[in-house]
Amino acid sequence: MTVELSLIIPCYNEAKNLPTLVKRCSEVLNQPNLEVILVDNCSSDETASILPELIKPYPSLRSVRVEKNQGYGFGILSGLKAANGKYLAWTHADMQTDPADVLKGLAEINKAPADSQLFIKGQRYGRPFSDVFFTLGMGVFETLLLGTWLYDINAQPTIFPKSFFDSWKNPPYDFALDLYAYYQAKKQNLLIKRFPVHFGKRLHGVSTWNINWRAKMKFIIRTVNFSLSLRKRLKGA
């Protein structure tokens, strides 16, 4: 069977969210030629024991286990490497965005000319003002640093052709993966499409970075360091 699209969802200590997540993924799997890959990113909770049972009823829903957590981006990359789809996508497991949002992106693919090289990304609404302000500031910084318009960089889902993924060289293993993919899409002149997605509260658990301003500062420092190395790499190319 030809797989049109593979949706990757990294899961780190999301055991309480998994039943709802799998239920929402079933809507995606009702569509033909789609698959969903849940990546257990070396969780320390009950994910490893409950995930196999939850996915049993769904032949097109499978899991990948990462034995050593090397970051959010590494988990996604592990799923992307295992995917069979012509198009690849990722989103989050915390239910702040709905996995079924990927179907809106698939609709953009289906109405585009067959030879189109699309990079499709959600655009979040419904977020607290402080988070919107933080995102806007990061977008302005990255735009000025890298010389191309970038905004709502970490919005989900993110969707692109497998051939685009195959072109990546040394992608980052942390949250900078969102920036890397978005920037590479602009650099390679993919057609950028955005669509609105509601961004709500986490169903269970806590964010690994969006906890307070101290955690956000650590995120900023990591992202800035990666951005500077990316710009340096571009100048040397």
Question: Which of the residue ranges 32-41, 68-77, 189-198, 228-237 would you say has the lowest mean pLDDT?
Answer: 228-237
Res. 237 pLDDT band, cuts 50 70 90: very low
Q: What is the pLDDT of residue 218?
A: 76
Report whether pLDDT(231) > 80. no
pLDDT tens track for 112-170: 988 889 999 999 999 989 889 989 998 999 999 899 999 999 999 999 999 999 999 99
For the chain, the average pLDDT equals: 89
With a threshold of 0.75, does the pTM exceed it?
yes
Question: Cα(221)–Cα(217) distance, rounded to whole angstroms?
Answer: 6
Closest CA to 200 of 130, 128, 139, 133: 128
End-to-end CA distance of the chain: 40
pLDDT tens track for 183-206: 999 999 999 999 999 998 766 655
Amino acid at 40: D
Between strands 191-198 and 118-125, the pairing is parallel
95, 18 Cβ separation under 8 angstroms: no
Question: Cα(44)–Cα(29) distance, rounded to whole angstroms?
Answer: 28
Closest CA to 180 of 60, 73, 56, 37: 73
